[in-house]
């Protein structure tokens, strides 16, 4: 199957805003997010010949962005403080439907919500954002993060629980 010129741009350009939003949530900094997205596109363009046509291009792009973030100074700082999950296969499963968190995230640019999400450990934050903001399926998230679906569900469940508790504390203070 031959690639016609422009197919990388046709696939990649519609994802730009989503990738930038995810990069901004990860880095918590506009300049770093812009740099991260630029680097992601440069790496993706260089590696495009290795992309398997017919597989999930969006998950492939997110995986490049995430890996680029994790190897950046910001990502290394963020992940060096993350404790190892001891109960990855916990039985509390995330429900795939509108939750108070998804509604709040989708309707809110409030500082309280952003601070609560920023306070999550990176591996919980990225699963929550990919599911609730980017609306990826559990399978897409598993592909993007190279983790089993069960891990996606347990991390998502814990992220939502932590976020809910954090928001409740903030609302009680306010």
Q: Identify the structural domains of the chain with CATH numbers, from first to last.
A: 7-81 (1.10.1740.10), 90-174 (1.10.10.10)
What are the CA-CA distances from residue 135 to residues 2, 58, 88, 107, 152 (Å)?
A: 31, 12, 22, 14, 14
- State the distance between the two ends of the chain, measured CA to CA, in whole angstroms: 59
Query: Percentage of the chain surpassing pLDDT 70?
Result: 74
Which of 31, 56, 61 has the alpha carbon at shortest distance from 45? 61
Residue 72: per-residue pLDDT: 80
Q: What is the pLDDT of residues 95-118, one digit of tens each?
A: 444 455 555 554 554 667 778 888
3-state helix, strand, coil in the chain (%, to 5): 70, 0, 30
Q: What is the pLDDT of residues 124-170, one digit of tens each?
A: 999 998 998 888 999 999 999 999 999 999 999 999 999 888 888 87
Q: What is the pLDDT of residues 79-95, one digit of tens each?
A: 655 444 444 444 344 44
Tokens standing for 21?
A: 């939003």
Which of 139, 147, 143 has the alpha carbon at shortest distance from 96? 139
Which of 102, 96, 103 has the alpha carbon at shortest distance from 153? 96
């Amino acid at each position: 199957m031959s690639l016609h010129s422009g197919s990388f741009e046709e696939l990649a350009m519609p994802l730009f805003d989503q990738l930038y939003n995810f990069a901004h949530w990860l880095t918590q900094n506009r300049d770093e997010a812009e740099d991260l997205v630029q680097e992601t596109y440069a790496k993706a363009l260089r590696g495009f010949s290795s992309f398997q046509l017919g597989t999930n291009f969006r998950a492939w792009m997110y995986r490049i962005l995430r890996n680029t973030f994790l190897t950046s100074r910001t990502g290394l700082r963020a992940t060096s403080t993350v404790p190892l999950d001891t109960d990855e296969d916990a039985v509390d499963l995330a429900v795939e439907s509108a939750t108070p968190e998804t509604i709040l995230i989708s309707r809110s640019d409030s500082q309280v919500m952003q601070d609560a999400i920023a306070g999550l450990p990176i591996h919980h934050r990225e699963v929550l954002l990919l599911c609730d903001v980017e609306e990826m399926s559990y399978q897409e998230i598993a592909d993007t993060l190279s983790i089993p679906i069960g891990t996606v569900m347990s991390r998502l469940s814990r992220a939502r629980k932590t976020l809910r508790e954090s928001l409740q504390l903030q609302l009680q203070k306010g």
